[in-house]
Amino acid sequence: MQTRFYFIRHGETQWNKQGIYQGWTDIPLSEEGKKQAQCLRKRFENEKLKLDAVYSSPLQRAMQTAEAMAKAKGLTVIADNHFKEINFGEWEGHTVAQLSEKHGKAYTDFFENPFIHPFPGEGSFDAVIKRSVEGFELLLKKHEGGNVAIVSHGGLLRVLIMTLMGMDYTFYRKTWLSNTSVTVIDVKENGKKLLLTLNDFSHLETL
């Protein structure tokens, strides 16, 4: 049986607009982000888009986004810590320019290759991969043959998607996930994964 996953980044926040690291800092959606979430909801009102469950990072920017789309299907959002954003510790609340100036090579090395350099908070991308893949595999087992939405964050989702698809780590800096974008991966009965859609935000054309 085929299982379909919708990976969705949360709507815009003020810190997104300002280019500030958010991580585990619990920032709400901006007014624009709330509008984006409603566009996402309209997308999932399409009866052809089947959903059996909606899971979300517990951070409010993700939960607000998830709740909007879940309403379209009459579902209740389930908070799941596996899909919380990457924890950047003391780097949160700062821009790239600020971090480069304050931490110098320790930050710029990470920025150039985050998979081999440590950072505050979670400490390593290996830790991020471990918890996110663990969460995915639990849902795959629980919802085999179903259709599942996971609402999370840009950093976490890029790491998870590239890991699931067996992509080289350089993929992380070669792509982007826009606010409320939808990425679709099908998992076949034999375990083969097919990436059908990446960073689709066509529903925002109505804004």
203 among known catalytic residues: no
Asked if residues 46 and 202 have their Cβ atoms less than 8 Å apart, the reply is: no
10 among known catalytic residues: yes
Rounded CA gap, 4 and 177, in Å?
19
Q: Per the residue annotation, which of 82, 94, 153, 203 is the catalytic one?
A: 153
Q: Per the residue annotation, which of 10, 82, 94, 203 is the catalytic one?
A: 10
Burial class (CB in 10 A: 0-12, 13-18, 19+), 106: middle
Asked if residues 64 and 37 have their Cβ atoms less than 8 Å apart, the reply is: yes
Rounded CA gap, 64 and 23, in Å?
16
Q: Which residues are catalytic?
A: 10, 153
